Chain A
């Protein structure tokens, strides 16, 4: 066996270092896999907490429309077909228009969560304030009922053009003046 003093790897130190490196990597990987296996085993043996699945009635989309600056309402009927009460917490994802404009809406809710009794069908009214500077277009995203399985519902909010009389004075009265290019 050829042994050299070259620290690059051929020498006894290099070979031993390589051996140590491989051993360390192997032990680390072994430990990682063992922990992962034990974690899965623990998870499988843990007592189950029965959950809830959201089933849409059809291919419906939660829709809303309005002009910039307006407050619109998204409405969703929720039927609790389970045998016990259920807490429902709606959350909206960021919405994106076809032009690539991203908008992070905020839901206006007096009660962010709703307690639904078995057999009840309350209507969840989600108030959304459309920012006054929001460009016109259809913004798409998802409405999630937090913690439920299969809970993302498609959302589409159509934002129309701001009416001329509702536009700010400088825009409504002097539309012909060209904008100064940004420096």
Chain B
């Protein structure tokens, strides 16, 4: 028997639609004018580390984490992370939901009502509110960040390949380039 699940909107949010995703993207870009570079980078780093903590609980993530943990990269990475206080920077900022943002941006690229929705801008964005306040104070560790970066990068690659897949020409295809245009005195 095949198990079945449904992907639905969160009841506490306005849901994923072209309008809400576009408003979210516009708001993210707008916020960049009001926060420092350190805050933006710290928040993204914290978000990647939070993703890494989640993925580290799976078999594949844990295997990758153990492998890195037992080698020189972990020692050197921890030293850089601690000495340059990257962990403090990340831990002091709220984690950015990097995976949701990536998926929402991919969904916008495939939306069939994007042009009409762009004409509706500015659309007021929804704030994170109480959900944001509930983000824990778990310190962002170097290994969390590495595993999260791996998971996010893999998702980026897969997303771009999935976007290209419907119109991707086969590798090794042989075609005919267009012949040169005839010479004409009008084109001089």
A interface residues (Cβ-Cβ under 8 A, vs B): 35-36, 39-57, 60-63, 75-89, 91-95, 104-107, 111-117, 123, 141, 144-149, 153
Contact = CB atoms under 8 A, between A and B. Distances in A.
Given A46-B132, A55-B7, A115-B162, 9 more contacts: A39-B137, A42-B39, A54-B6, A79-B4, A83-B15, A89-B155, A92-B60, A111-B161, A145-B5
Nearest to B108: A84
A84 B17 CA distance: 6
Interface of B: 1-11, 13-18, 20-21, 23-24, 27-28, 30-31, 39, 43, 51, 54-55, 57-63, 92-97, 99-104, 106-108, 110-111, 125-133, 135, 137, 151, 154-155, 158-159, 161-163
B132 A40 contact: yes
Residues of B contacting A: mostly:
helix
Contacts of B11: 53
A54 B10 CA distance: 9
A49 B104 contact: yes
5 contacts: A47-B125, A51-B13, A84-B111, A92-B58, A147-B100
A78 B128 CA distance: 27
Given A40-B94, A82-B8, A94-B62, A63 B1 contact: yes
Contacts of A106: 59-60, 63
Nearest to B51: A147
Contacts of A115: 106, 110, 159, 162-163
Nearest to A78: B5
Given A36-B137, A43-B132, A82 B7 contact: yes
Contacts of B128: 43-48
A105 to B, nearest CB: 6
A146 B132 contact: no
A44 B158 contact: no
A153 B97 CA distance: 22
Contact of B2 (A77, A82, A95, A111): A77
A105 B60 CA distance: 8
Contacts of B159: 87, 113, 115
B14 A47 contact: no
Select the residue from A42, A84, A146 with max chain B CB neighbours within 10 A.
A84
A94 B128 CA distance: 33
